[in-house]
C-alpha cells in the first residue's frame, strides 16, 4: 500500500492551522501522532496524522477542550474502538445544523421548530439551541416557558440539565435569552465551560439544531461556524435573496469547506422555488465557485400563522397543511439525500478511530 506523504505546507493548508500550532500539537499529543522524528521538525505527515490533527484542532478550537481533556477524549475513542463490535456506531456527537439567513423575518424559527418536530416524529433525539434574539423565539412557537436561559448557565454556573426546557415530543430546548449577547464578552474560562456544556448536549442527542438569528453579527457567524451544516433560509424577496448571497459569501470565506444548503420559504410553488434557488445558486457558482445544496421549499401557508397563534407547531396542529408537507419533505432531503450530508463528520469518528489506532500501532504502543 502506498502511504501518501504531505509536507508541513500541505498540512497547514489542509488543517487551517498555523505552523506553530502544528508543532505544538506534535509535541503535546505525540503519543497519538506517533511521529518517529519528533526532535527535529517533522517533514512528512501521513493522512492518518492529518486526521488526528484535525480532530485535535476541533476539540480545542470548537469545543474549548484543554490538552488533558483532548488526551482523555482520544484515549476514550481508542478504547471504544477496541471494544465496540465491528460495524457498530460508537457513541458520537450530534449532527449540528445551524439555521441562518441574511435578512430577518424570513421564517428561520418557524422552520427550526417544525424541522425539530419532524425529526422527533421519526424517533430522533433532538435539541434546539435558540441563539436568536428575534421576537418569535423557539419557546414561544413550541408553547413552552423556559425558566432559565444561557445566561444562567454562563453567569450563575447552572448545570445544563437545569437550563434545558423539554418541549413537545421530548425536544430539548436551550434558550439563549440575554446570554447570547453575553457570549461576545466571555472570559476564557467561561467560554470553555460553556463549550463543555454544549458538548454534553451534543452527546446526548442525535440532532442539534441552532437557530442563529439573521445577519452578519458575530453571534450568527460564531454559531454557524460551530455547525456541521448550515441551512440558509430565504424568501423570493429580492433583498432577502441578495442578503442570502452575502451571508453565504461570508460563511464560505470563513470556512471554504462548509456544507451550505438553501431553503426557499414563502414561495407559491415548486416551480417558483426553483427560480429563486437558481438565481442565488448561479451567482454562488459563478462568483464563489461553490454549489449550494437544494434542500427544498416551503409554500406560503396561512396555517403557519394560525399555528403560531396557537403556540403549537404546525406539524402538530395542522400536520396535513401544505407547509407541513413541505417541511417533512425537507427533512427527508436532509436525512437521506446526499445533497446535504456532511460525509466528513459522518465518517470522521470511524476514521479518527482508525487513524489513532494505526498511528499508535505504528508507534508500538
Ligand atoms: N411559509 C410561510 N407562510 C406564511 N407565513 C410564514 C411562512 N414562514 C414564516 N411565516 C411568518 O413569517 C413571520 C416570520 O417568521 P419567523 O419568525 O419564523 O422568521 P425568522 O426568520 O425566525 O425571524 P427573525 O429574523 O426575526 O428571527 C412569522 O409571522 C411567521 O408566521
Ligand atoms: Mg427567528
Q: Could you tell me the CATH number of the domain that includes residue 188?
A: 3.40.50.300
Which of 98, 101, 105 is the pocket-test mutation for ligand 1 (most atoms within 8 Å of CB)? 105
Q: Which residues contact ligand 1 via a Cβ below 6 A?
A: 101, 104-110, 132, 134-136, 213-214, 265-266, 298, 300-301, 304-305, 308, 323
Residue-wise pLDDT tens for the chain (365 aa)? 456 788 889 999 989 999 999 988 988 888 777 644 443 455 688 887 888 898 899 888 888 888 888 888 887 776 654 433 333 333 567 888 999 999 999 999 999 999 999 999 999 999 999 887 666 589 999 999 888 888 888 888 888 889 999 999 999 999 887 777 777 677 767 766 776 777 778 888 999 999 987 777 776 777 777 788 899 999 999 999 999 999 999 998 887 778 899 999 999 999 999 999 999 999 999 999 999 999 999 999 999 999 999 999 999 999 999 999 999 999 999 997 666 644 433 334 444 455 554 454 444 33
User: In the block, which residue shows the cell 451567482?
Assistant: 283
Residue 337, all three cell numbers: 439525500
Ligand 1 atom 18: residue of nearest CA: 107
- In this structure, the answer to whether residues 13 and 71 fall within a common structural domain is yes
Q: Does residue 295 sit within a domain?
A: yes
Residue 29 confidence (pLDDT):
87
- The whole-angstrom separation of Cα 41 and Cα 19 is 10
Q: Does residue 115 sit within a domain?
A: yes
Contact 118, 327 (CB under 8 A): yes
- The whole-angstrom separation of Cα 69 and Cα 52 is 15
Instruction: Give the residue among 88, 3, 94 at the shortest CA–CA distance from 50.
Output: 3
Residue 102 confidence (pLDDT):
93
* 58 contact partners, CB below 8 Å, separation of at least 6: none
- Residues β-bridged to residue 208: 96, 127
- In this structure, the answer to whether residues 185 and 286 fall within a common structural domain is yes
- In this structure, the answer to whether residues 283 and 189 fall within a common structural domain is yes
Domain boundary among 89, 113, 129: 89
- The whole-angstrom separation of Cα 111 and Cα 327 is 7
Helix (H) or strand (E) holding 297: strand 293-299
Please spell the DSSP secondary structure of 180-205, one letter per residue: HHHGGG--HHHHHHHHHHHHHHHHH-
- In this structure, the answer to whether residues 30 and 164 fall within a common structural domain is no
- Residues β-bridged to residue 264: 234, 297
Q: Does residue 357 sit within a domain?
A: no
- In this structure, the answer to whether residues 51 and 155 fall within a common structural domain is no
Domain boundary among 72, 89, 106: 89
Residue 80 confidence (pLDDT):
55
Q: Listing from the earlier edge strand, what are the strands of the sheet with 259-267?
A: 164-166, 172-175, 126-130, 207-214, 95-101, 229-234, 259-267, 293-299
Ligand 1 atom 19: residue of nearest CA: 107
Dihedrals phi, psi of 294, to nearest 5 degrees: -95, 100
Q: Does residue 301 sit within a domain?
A: yes
- In this structure, the answer to whether residues 294 and 162 fall within a common structural domain is yes
Residue 349 confidence (pLDDT):
45
Residue 279, all three cell numbers: 438565481
Residue 87, all three cell numbers: 460495524
Q: Does residue 361 sit within a domain?
A: no
Residue 355 confidence (pLDDT):
54
- In this structure, the answer to whether residues 58 and 181 fall within a common structural domain is no
Domain boundary among 89, 114, 149: 89
Which of 98, 113, 136 is the pocket-test mutation for ligand 1 (most atoms within 8 Å of CB)? 136
Ligand 1 atom 27: residue of nearest CA: 134
Residue 14, all three cell numbers: 489542509
- In this structure, the answer to whether residues 78 and 128 fall within a common structural domain is no
Which of 99, 100, 107, 213 is the pocket-test mutation for ligand 1 (most atoms within 8 Å of CB)? 107
Distance of CA 274 to the CA centre of its chain: 26
- In this structure, the answer to whether residues 119 and 221 fall within a common structural domain is yes
Query: Residue 103 CA: which ligand 1 atom is closest?
Result: 25
Which range of residues forms the domain containing residue 169?
A: 95-343
Instruction: Count structural domains, the chain.
Output: 2
Query: Residue 213 CA: which ligand 1 atom is closest?
Result: 27
Q: Does residue 236 sit within a domain?
A: yes
Which of 101, 103, 110, 329 is the pocket-test mutation for ligand 1 (most atoms within 8 Å of CB)? 110
**Which ligand has the shortest distance to the CA of 263?**
1
- In this structure, the answer to whether residues 102 and 81 fall within a common structural domain is no
- In this structure, the answer to whether residues 222 and 325 fall within a common structural domain is yes
Q: Can you tell me whether residue 360 is helix, strand or coil? A: helix
Ligand 1 atom 9: residue of nearest CA: 107
Q: Residue 68 burial (CB < 10 Å; 0-12/13-18/19+)?
A: exposed
- In this structure, the answer to whether residues 83 and 104 fall within a common structural domain is no
Q: Does residue 348 sit within a domain?
A: no
- The whole-angstrom separation of Cα 216 and Cα 242 is 13
Ligand 2 centroid vs 189 CA: distance in angstroms?
29
Q: Does residue 139 sit within a domain?
A: yes
**Which ligand has the shortest distance to the CA of 318?**
1
Amino acid at each position: 500500500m502506498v502511504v501518501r506523504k504531505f509536507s508541513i505546507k500541505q498540512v497547514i493548508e489542509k488543517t487551517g492551522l498555523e505552523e506553530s500550532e502544528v508543532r505544538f500539537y506534535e509535541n503535546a499529543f505525540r503519543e497519538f501522532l506517533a511521529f518517529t522524528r519528533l526532535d527535529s521538525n517533522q517533514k512528512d505527515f501521513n493522512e492518518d496524522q492529518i486526521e488526528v490533527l484535525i480532530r485535535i484542532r476541533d476539540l480545542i478550537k470548537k469545543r474549548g477542550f484543554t490538552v488533558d481533556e483532548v488526551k482523555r477524549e482520544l484515549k476514550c475513542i481508542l478504547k471504544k474502538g477496541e471494544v465496540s463490535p465491528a460495524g457498530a456506531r460508537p457513541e458520537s456527537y450530534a449532527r449540528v445544523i445551524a439555521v441562518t439567513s441574511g435578512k430577518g423575518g424570513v421564517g428561520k424559527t418557524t422552520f427550526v421548530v417544525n424541522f425539530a418536530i419532524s425529526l422527533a416524529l421519526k424517533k430522533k433525539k433532538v435539541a434546539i439551541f435558540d441563539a436568536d434574539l428575534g421576537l418569535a423565539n423557539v419557546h414561544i412557537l413550541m408553547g413552552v416557558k423556559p425558566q432559565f436561559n444561557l445566561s444562567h448557565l454562563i453567569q450563575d454556573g447552572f448545570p445544563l440539565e437545569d437550563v434545558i426546557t423539554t418541549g413537545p415530543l421530548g425536544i430539548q430546548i436551550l434558550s439563549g435569552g440575554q446570554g447570547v449577547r453575553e457570549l461576545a464578552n466571555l472570559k476564557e474560562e467561561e467560554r470553555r465551560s460553556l463549550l463543555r456544556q454544549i458538548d454534553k448536549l451534543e452527546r446526548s442527542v442525535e440532532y442539534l439544531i441552532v437557530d442563529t438569528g439573521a445577519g452578519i453579527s458575530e453571534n450568527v457567524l460564531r454559531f454557524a461556524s460551530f455547525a456541521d451544516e448550515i441551512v440558509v433560509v430565504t424568501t423570493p424577496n429580492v433583498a432577502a435573496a441578495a442578503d442570502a448571497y452575502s451571508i453565504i459569501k461570508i460563511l464560505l470565506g470563513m470556512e471554504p469547506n462548509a456544507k451550505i444548503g438553501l431553503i426557499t420559504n414563502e414561495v407559491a410553488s415548486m416551480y417558483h422555488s426553483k427560480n429563486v434557488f437558481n438565481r442565488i445558486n448561479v451567482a454562488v457558482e459563478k462568483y464563489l465557485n461553490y454549489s449550494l445544496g437544494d434542500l427544498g421549499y416551503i409554500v406560503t401557508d396561512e396555517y403557519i400563522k394560525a399555528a403560531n397563534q396557537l403556540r403549537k407547531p404546525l406539524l402538530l396542529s395542522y400536520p396535513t397543511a401544505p407547509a407541513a408537507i413541505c417541511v417533512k419533505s425537507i427533512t427527508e432531503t436532509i436525512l437521506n439525500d446526499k445533497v446535504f450530508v456532511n460525509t466528513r463528520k459522518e465518517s470522521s469518528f470511524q476514521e479518527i478511530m482508525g487513524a489513532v489506532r494505526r498511528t499508535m500501532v505504528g508507534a508500538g504502543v
